[in-house]
Amino acid sequence: MFVDYVVLERKKKRNCRKKKAGLQMKATIRLDKMLGNLGYGTRSGIKILVKQGAVTVNGKSVKDHGMQINPTQDVVVLDGETIRYRDTVYVLLHKPAGVVSATEDSRDRTVIDLLDEDLAVLSPFPVGRLDKDTEGLLLITNDGKLSHELLSPRKHVPKTYRALVAGDVDKEDAEAFQQGVTLDDGYVTMPSQLSVLAQSNGEDAPTAVEEGHAEEMIDAIKLAPRQEEPVQHATLSWIELTIHEGKFHQVKRMFEAVGKKVLYLRRVSMGPLRLDPALAPGEWRELTEVELESLRNYRKDGPA
Ligand code: URA
């Protein structure tokens, strides 16, 4: 009994020490690492800058490139510029067609290549994948925990897409998607919500089924020829689909399952995040505090 108590007390103390050490480790960072993380050069380059007297900390010139800095308290100035430290990055990208959702690729440009160097240096990665020819909302971050939770198959984070589909997408398709369709590998999809926003018979201008979507469909038709095999169809449908999982090529394969082909695909939302209409394909911006907060709350409150 007494032995158990002693073991427990020792364990508590150990954990407490570990916690304190952890906090200390997080609170400070080497000066050269901090500047390196922010993209101000390599460790050796920064060492030279510091030796040359280009850096002051709290108003005093420093010569020790390895000194510990508390980024939230110490004021670091490099060549007259006050440095604001950050170690996380959250970017909302309007992914254009033609770039791959990866951090590196030997053939294609990646979504990371579209970012500024001072963000890319923080090692961000895309949260999930969009196909090379898919456009739309892509979250890029270096927050592994957030990414893991958004992608977790148990969370069923909804993802909404708009797509130009060859053929007459109708109520039967919507019912089939609500029930779940069988993909080419035998997987039966979870219930998803499909609605038709506009349609065209291929010759006349599209008719909006839901107010205001005809214009958007015309734009999508202009983008669609980027597809490998243009499909001539009497009817084209501009649709919106919300899925709650993320299988490989899921939207395209779901339409294949009902005998139709996706000609153009754009993701417009993921969880609480919406594609910013002010961002043209290829443009990005960092998440606002409100968006970040909504993501964090979504993680907490979202479906388990
Ligand atoms: N579904 C697809 O088919 N492609 C994507 O890029 C995303 C979802």
In the CATH hierarchy, which fold is given to the domain comprising 159-270?
A: Alpha-Beta Plaits (3.30.70)
- Tell how strand 273-274 and strand 159-166 pair up: unpaired
Would residue 4 show up in a list of annotated catalytic residues for this protein? no
Residue owning the nearest CA to atom 2 of ligand 1: 249
Report how far residue 136's alpha carbon sits from residue 130's, in angstroms, rounded to the nearest whole number: 8
Check: CB of residue 138 under 8 Å from CB of residue 95: yes
Ligand 1 binding pocket includes 265 (Cβ within 6 Å): yes
Q: What is the DSSP letter of 53?
A: T
Q: Which of 131, 138, 162 to mutate for ligand 1's pocket (most ligand atoms within 8 Å of CB)?
A: 131
Give the pLDDT mean for 224-248. Answer: 81
- Domain spans in the chain, listed from the N-terminal domain onward: 26-82, 90-152+287-301, 159-270
Asked if domains 26-82 and 159-270 share a fold, the reply is: no
Summarised one tens digit per residue, pLDDT across range 161-182 is 999 999 999 999 999 999 999 9
Q: What is the pLDDT of residue 227?
A: 53
Ligand 1 binding pocket includes 130 (Cβ within 6 Å): yes
Q: Class for domain 90-152+287-301, per CATH?
A: alpha beta
Dist. CA 262 → ligand 1 center (Å): 10
Ligand 1 binding pocket includes 261 (Cβ within 6 Å): no
Residue owning the nearest CA to atom 3 of ligand 1: 249
Ligand 1 binding pocket includes 286 (Cβ within 6 Å): no
Summarised one tens digit per residue, pLDDT across range 114-150 is 998 878 888 899 999 999 999 999 999 999 999 999 9
Check: CB of residue 46 under 8 Å from CB of residue 36: yes
Q: Which of 161, 247, 256 to mutate for ligand 1's pocket (most ligand atoms within 8 Å of CB)?
A: 161
Summarised one tens digit per residue, pLDDT across range 269-303 is 999 999 999 999 999 999 999 999 999 988 665 55
Marked catalytic residue, from 131, 133, 170, 276: 131
**Which residue from 198, 229, 200 is spatially nearest to 214, judged by alpha carbons?**
198
Q: Give kind and range of the element (H or E) at residue 255.
A: helix 250-257
Q: Is the C-alpha dihedral spanning 224, 225, 229, 235 positive or negative?
A: positive
CATH number of this structure's domain 26-82, picked from the four choices 3.10.290.10, 3.40.50.1380, 3.40.50.300, 2.60.40.1940: 3.10.290.10
pLDDT for residue 16 is more than 60: no
Report helix, strand or coil for 184.
coil
**Closest ligand 1 atom to Cα of 133:** 6
Ligand 1 binding pocket includes 163 (Cβ within 6 Å): no
